[in-house]
């Protein structure tokens, strides 16, 4: 085990001293009436639940326990899963950098270079024949460039790491373009609709590692906010065909596929259906990938996935290498 181990290295029964990030924190009370803190820590290797019991909590200010922290604790096993019982904890200081603190070890990040992915995404707009639409999309992406380079695609379900939204968007564009070429669909609509389908995630979810919902995200959601983004940018450019903008709005509103999956409307054009399939496939394959790569060789051959409602075989031949052959 390294001097400052990551969560994936934790072994039940050991005492660890390391740097972690407070992803969530809730004040609770035991059945005996004792206060304690229920936390979730994360680093680039994963997450772990943790507890700060009353005997430790009484010697600290709970309000200071936030963000990057240095932690000492006992790794326990609770319901066959690791849990950290915190003995000491404090915020990270500048002096910790000399002691071995590296911020990049705290946050999981896309395996692909963000600048390269963004450049590749912009390159797809060169295929758009509709000049006013192309200019609108270029302006939109340039305005959103900085947050897009870093933002997550979801809170936890898929691509839930820095750069995950960009990685997911680029993958959806590639798959949708394949559908467009195979079935003779409108390439301009496919490219622009694929790029736009999830961009409002940047307004729905906070950019920090806690990945909380924003107020607007909770009350409205990224699907409707995505439609608003299109209307906002369409109002800034002249020469845009209203029916084209309406089609893009429909794609955003329907990309979840079914009303029971939070889609206000279901896909009613072949382009909307293609983008829904590409989006759904990429999200679910990422769930398979994470389950298999994180769990290979650990415990049983199968692991149940709550969202997918099935057991996933973890020790098969899939290694998910070469997932993006265009890089």
Assess if residue 56 is contained within a domain: yes
Same domain for 164 and 70, yes or no, is no
CATH number at residue 93: 2.40.50.140
Inter-residue contact 182 to 297 (CB < 8 Å): no
This prediction has a pTM of 0.81
d(CA 18, CA 5): 6
At residue 100, the pLDDT reads: 82
- pLDDT band, residue 290 (cuts 50/70/90): confident
pLDDT digits (tens, 9 = 90+) for 272-288: 999 999 999 999 999 99
Same domain for 91 and 150, yes or no, is no
d(CA 266, CA 250): 9
Assess if residue 257 is contained within a domain: yes
Same domain for 152 and 271, yes or no, is yes
Backbone φ and ψ of 216, nearest 5°: -65, -40
- pLDDT band, residue 296 (cuts 50/70/90): low
pLDDT digits (tens, 9 = 90+) for 7-25: 999 999 999 999 999 988 9
3-class secondary structure per residue, 36-69: EEEEEEEECCEEEEEEECHHHHCCCCHHHCCEEE
- For the cut 70, the answer to whether the pLDDT of residue 327 exceeds it is no
Same domain for 38 and 172, yes or no, is no
At residue 176, the pLDDT reads: 97
- pLDDT band, residue 325 (cuts 50/70/90): very low
Inter-residue contact 164 to 198 (CB < 8 Å): no
Lowest mean pLDDT among 32-41, 166-175, 284-293: 284-293
Same domain for 75 and 134, yes or no, is no
At residue 157, the pLDDT reads: 86
Domain boundary among 105, 123, 138: 105
Same domain for 180 and 238, yes or no, is yes
Same domain for 38 and 140, yes or no, is no
pLDDT digits (tens, 9 = 90+) for 80-92: 889 999 999 999 9
Lowest mean pLDDT among 66-75, 100-109, 252-261: 100-109
Assess if residue 97 is contained within a domain: yes
Assess if residue 187 is contained within a domain: yes
Count the neighbouring beta carbons within 10 Å of the beta carbon of residue 130.
18
CA distances 287 to 84, 159, 314, Å, are 25, 8, 12
- pLDDT band, residue 27 (cuts 50/70/90): very high
Q: List the alpha helices (DSSP H) in the chain.
A: 54-57, 96-99, 114-124, 131-143, 145-150, 164-183, 187-196, 201-204, 215-219, 222-234, 242-254, 270-295
Domain boundary among 105, 130, 148: 105
Same domain for 184 and 41, yes or no, is no
Same domain for 120 and 101, yes or no, is no
- pLDDT band, residue 231 (cuts 50/70/90): very high
Lowest mean pLDDT among 35-39, 50-54, 103-107: 103-107
d(CA 320, CA 111): 12
Domain boundary among 77, 105, 133: 105
At residue 297, the pLDDT reads: 62
Same domain for 89 and 122, yes or no, is no
Give the residue numbers spanning the domain of 14: 7-105
Same domain for 152 and 48, yes or no, is no
d(CA 210, CA 225): 21
pLDDT digits (tens, 9 = 90+) for 140-178: 999 999 999 999 999 888 998 889 999 999 999 999 999
Give the pair of three-digit tokens for residue 27.
Answer: 């004040």
* Cα angle for residues 306, 268, 232 (degrees, 5° grid): 90
Summarize the confidence of residues 42-52 as an average pLDDT: 91
Total tally of structural domains belonging to the chain? 2
């Amino acid at each position: 085990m390294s001097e400052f181990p990551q969560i994936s290295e934790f072994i039940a029964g050991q005492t660890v001293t390391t740097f972690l990030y407070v992803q969530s924190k809730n004040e609770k009370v035991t059945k005996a009436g004792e206060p304690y803190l229920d936390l979730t820590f994360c680093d680039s290797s994963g997450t772990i639940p943790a507890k700060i019991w009353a005997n430790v909590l009484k010697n600290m200010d709970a309000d200071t326990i936030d963000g990057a922290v240095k932690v000492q604790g006992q790794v326990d096993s609770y319901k066959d899963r690791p849990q950290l019982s915190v003995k000491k904890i404090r915020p990270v200081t500048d002096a910790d950098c000399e002691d071995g603190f590296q911020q990049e070890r705290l946050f999981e990040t896309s395996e692909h270079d963000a600048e390269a992915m963004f450049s590749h995404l912009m390159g797809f707009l060169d295929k758009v024949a509709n000049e006013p639409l192309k200019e609108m999309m270029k302006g939109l992406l340039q305005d959103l460039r900085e947050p897009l380079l870093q933002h997550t695609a979801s809170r936890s379900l898929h691509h839930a790491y820095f750069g995950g939204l960009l990685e997911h968007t680029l993958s959806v564009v590639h798959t949708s373009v394949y559908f467009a070429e195979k079935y003779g669909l409108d390439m301009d609509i496919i490219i622009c609709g694929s790029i736009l389908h999830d961009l409002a995630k940047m307004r729905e979810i906070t950019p920090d590692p806690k990945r909380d919902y924003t107020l607007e995200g909770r009350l409205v959601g990224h699907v409707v906010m995505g439609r608003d983004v299109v209307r906002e940018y369409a109002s800034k450019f002249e020469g845009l065909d209203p029916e084209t903008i309406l089609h893009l709005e429909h794609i955003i509103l329907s990309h979840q596929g079914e009303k029971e999956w939070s889609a206000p409307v279901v896909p009613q054009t072949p382009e909307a259906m293609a983008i829904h399939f590409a989006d759904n496939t990429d999200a679910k394959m990422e769930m398979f990938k994470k389950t298999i790569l994180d769990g290979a060789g650990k415990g049983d051959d199968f692991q149940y996935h709550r969202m997918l409602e099935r057991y996933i075989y973890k020790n098969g031949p899939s290694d998910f290498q070469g997932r993006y052959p265009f890089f």
